[in-house]
Amino acid sequence: MVEIIPTHVKDVYICHIKQFKDHRGKLCELFNMVKYPEEIKKFFPVQQITWVTNRKFAHRGLHIAAYSKLLTCIKGSVYDVVVDTRPDSSTYLQWVGVTLSEENGYQLLVPPDCGHGYLALEEGCAVVYCQGGCFLPSVPEKAVHLFDKAVSVDWPFIDQKSNFLISEKDSKVPFLEVDIEKFKPNRKRILIISSKGQVGQLFFRKLTELNDKYVVIGTCYSNDEPQHYKFDLKTAAKDPAHVDLLLDACKPHVVIVCGAMTNVNLCESEKELAYLVNRDSIEQLGKQIKKRGAKLIFFSTNYIFSDPLKPDLPQDRIDMLANDVGIKEDARPNCVNVYGKSKLDSEKVLQDNDPNALIIRTSGVFGHDSKKRNFVYQVIGNLLGGNKMTLLTDEIQCPVYNDDLCRATLELMEKNCSGIYHIVGPEAFNKYTFGVKIAEIFNLDTSLLVPMSSEELKLPAKRPYFAALSTAKFRKEFPEFKFHNVSAAVKDWQTKQMKAGKFLSEF
């Protein structure tokens, strides 16, 4: 079966065909109805096959046809682009690009009624079109200008566009008449790695709401909805081409990496996998992102620290704004488990490779999550079900409201900040006290929460003791920014997500 890679543009797929080589030469099937999955076959059978040769910098398109096309480059290489020109599509005016070459074996499926064009990157490039319909000169052609500002395709060699070879007809295509407020020219493209995770989904939603400023693209394992590209951190760690294809397709200005292997106990038992996902994939992403001149934003963790408990401080709740006792960005790390070590390693490879990268350390993220994964959901779910829950008394950190984390990150992004910043909430709790706080807010039975020390609980992975981070650096640079304490955060969460009095229906 031919491998297909769903892209972030609806109905657009990258196909990867096998090439069979021996001493006689090379053989590959450009199309085989038996071997292609239904996602591709539904656009065919093939009605016409077209072969085109091109001089270097020849540009064809962006042409809109009522039928599908499957493009293959059989000589040289081209940068091939599809623009969604279907007004009723959820990815209207978004585009995807991919380098097709005789060596990489990629094909690009162009669905009907979408703009399509390519730029020849070498002299003598040859491209084959398998078409789901026939070109008829009598049918009026539609097109999008290759430099249309509402689309803003990021063509390679744009600094040499005066050398592009464009037909007179294509050069005279008028720009699209669209709502300029909704589709502002040259919007910044934001790529969110793992946009279905707890942090990623919030960034995806928040940035999508700002669609006058950003084009937002997410990645996930399954690609079950538009604006999401199928991407896997494990594959990325082993195969640089997987990363290259993603960045080629999206051409992001900013990449926000939200994905990680965060199950602390699993990291301890699956060390190789933890380092593969948390360190090696980030190293590959960092190299490729820097090469393209994009901005990388990476989320790290307070688990790279474990200071001794501070007996002179209150053990139930610490006001971190009144007591400047948090761990600062330049403090010496002290990792006590594989999860922390793998995240620290990823920080180091990013700092060594790209001084412009932004690293945000955070902890205990809570707030609305469609999959109900964070600590607050766990506490409420257990207590509503009448289940006891054992919580640590000697792991102290600052839980952060996910909305605050998102807002703070966007502030840093807009100012193009780099280096390391701590973004956490203004209160420090141990897990037990935090659980009691949540239970009290919702008038739930606190007696079901069982306090226990790390030594008593004997978890597979050791937890840090005092890992409460200081936000002094961020607050100094952004003095107007206000973090929510837990009570205020829950109230804000309730207001934003649920109708009055129905908040617990989430659980």
Q: What CA–CA distance (Å, rounded) separates 264 from 336?
A: 11
pLDDT per residue as tens digits for the range 79-118: 999 999 999 998 999 999 999 999 999 999 999 999 999 9
pLDDT, tens only, 249-273: 999 999 999 999 999 999 999 999 9
Instruction: Considering only residues 139 and 280, tell me which one the structure prediction assigns the higher pLDDT.
Output: 280
The pLDDT of residue 137 is 83
Residue 46 host element (H or E)? none
Residue 55 lies in a domain: yes
Question: Is the predicted pLDDT of residue 507 greater than 80, yes or no?
Answer: no
> Is residue 433 pLDDT above 70, yes or no?
yes
Q: Is the pLDDT assigned to residue 503 strictly greater than 60? A: no
Q: Do 153 and 227 share a structural domain?
A: no
Residues 476 and 404 in one domain: yes
Domain assignment of residue 255, yes or no: yes
Query: Looking at the structure, do residues 198 and 135 belong to the same domain, yes or no?
Result: no
Does a structural domain hold residue 268?
yes
If asked whether residues 393 and 493 sit together in one domain, one would say yes
Query: pLDDT of 4-30, one tens digit each?
Result: 889 999 999 999 998 888 899 888 888
Give CA–CA dist 134/464, Å, rounded: 66
The per-residue pLDDT for range 23-67, each reduced to its tens digit, is 998 888 888 888 888 889 888 888 999 999 999 999 998 999 999
Out of 63, 228, 368, 484, pick the active-site residue: 63
- Do 211 and 307 lie in one domain? The reply is yes
Lowest mean pLDDT among 222-231, 317-326, 383-392, 463-472: 222-231
Structural domain count of the chain: 2
Domain co-membership, 321 together with 227: yes
Angle CA(84)–CA(85)–CA(90) in degrees, nearest 5?
60
Is residue 303 among the annotated active site residues? Answer: no
Residue type for 414, please?
E
Among 13, 129, 377, 421, the one annotated catalytic = 129
pLDDT band per the 50, 70, 90 thresholds, residue 223:
low
pLDDT digits (tens, 9 = 90+) for 303-341: 999 988 766 666 677 888 888 889 999 999 999 999 999
CATH number at residue 45: 2.60.120.10
507 Cβ contact list (under 8 Å, min separation 6):
372, 377, 380, 381, 384
Whole-model pTM? 0.90
**73-78 mean pLDDT:** 96
**pLDDT computed for residue 32 by the predictor:** 87
pLDDT digits (tens, 9 = 90+) for 350-365: 999 999 999 999 999 9
Residues 240 and 335 in one domain: yes
Assess whether pLDDT exceeds 70 at residue 504. no
* Residue 500 confidence (pLDDT): 41
Q: Which domain holds residue 81?
A: 3-158
The overall average pLDDT reported for the chain is: 91
pLDDT at residue 212 is higher than 80: no
User: Residue 36's pLDDT is what?
Assistant: 87
User: 128-179, pLDDT tens digit by residue?
Assistant: 999 999 988 878 889 999 999 889 999 999 888 889 999 999 999 999 887 7
Q: Note whether 146 and 201 are same-domain residues.
A: no
Phi, psi of 124 (to 5 degrees): 80, 20
Residue 352 CB burial class (10 angstroms; 0-12, 13-18, ≥19):
exposed
**484: annotated active-site residue:** no
State the pLDDT at residue 373: 85
- Residue 248 has a CB neighbour count (10 Å cut-off) of 19
Say if residue 222's pLDDT is above 80: no
The answer to whether residue 499 scores a pLDDT higher than 80 is: no
